[in-house]
Amino acid sequence: MPSPFLKRLHWLLLGGFIASTANAVDYPLPPSGTDVIGEVKVVYAKKEETLLDIARTHSLGYDEIVHANPGVDRWAPGEKTPIVLPSRFILPDTPREGIVLNIAEMRVYYYPAAGAGGERVVHTYPVSIGRMDWKTPMGLTKVVAKDVDPAWRPPASIKAEHAKEGDILPDVVPGGPDNPLGRFAMRLGVPGYLIHGTNKPFGIGMRVTHGCVRMYPEDIE
């Protein structure tokens, strides 16, 4: 019987995921029974930085950094303003393999296979998930394909939603900088759902998608 925590996870994805190491946040995998990784840190804002710039630099999402810094202007924190980085995480109560999406936390945990020396790590990334009226589905699935510069074929429901606001979507949005899927996408065994990049990275860490899982471009790469 799945634990109550597992029931709150919308996806446990097994295999097929290659993490970029350029901006990856990884931690040594703690022994069984130890679930806490990372630590809370404080940095100081630079003059030109927004709170969302700082979040992206430190692999945090919108809600995470805004909630950790009440009263701080998200668009102009101010030079040398102390910014709390909520980078202490509790590993989900699931098998430590493949990809685990904690829907409530809006965060992915990726457990790659052990390295040549037997050491294991866990990578974690902030993500965007489905809106309350377009919920990310629950289930156990896998990555079935990976696409570079994917074309987006908006379904009729999304086209109708945009049309109500005067935004007429084409049948196909070709791959490129204006494509909402970003440059990379992983297609899942659940038809119509993907893990993909974005052309609007400031929305990472929010409930803003139509059910797909959205990542920073550098994380999905």
The residues annotated as belonging to the active site are 196, 212
Dist CA 110 CA 98 (whole Å): 6
Assess contact for 94 and 11: CB atoms under 8 A.
Answer: no
Instruction: Give residues with Cβ within 8 angstroms of 194, minimum separation 6.
Output: 150, 181, 185, 186, 187, 188, 212, 213
Q: Fill in the amino acid letter for 210.
A: H
Which residue in 140, 28, 37, 59 sits closest to 95, CA to CA? 140
DSSP 8: T
Beta bridge partners of 146: 186
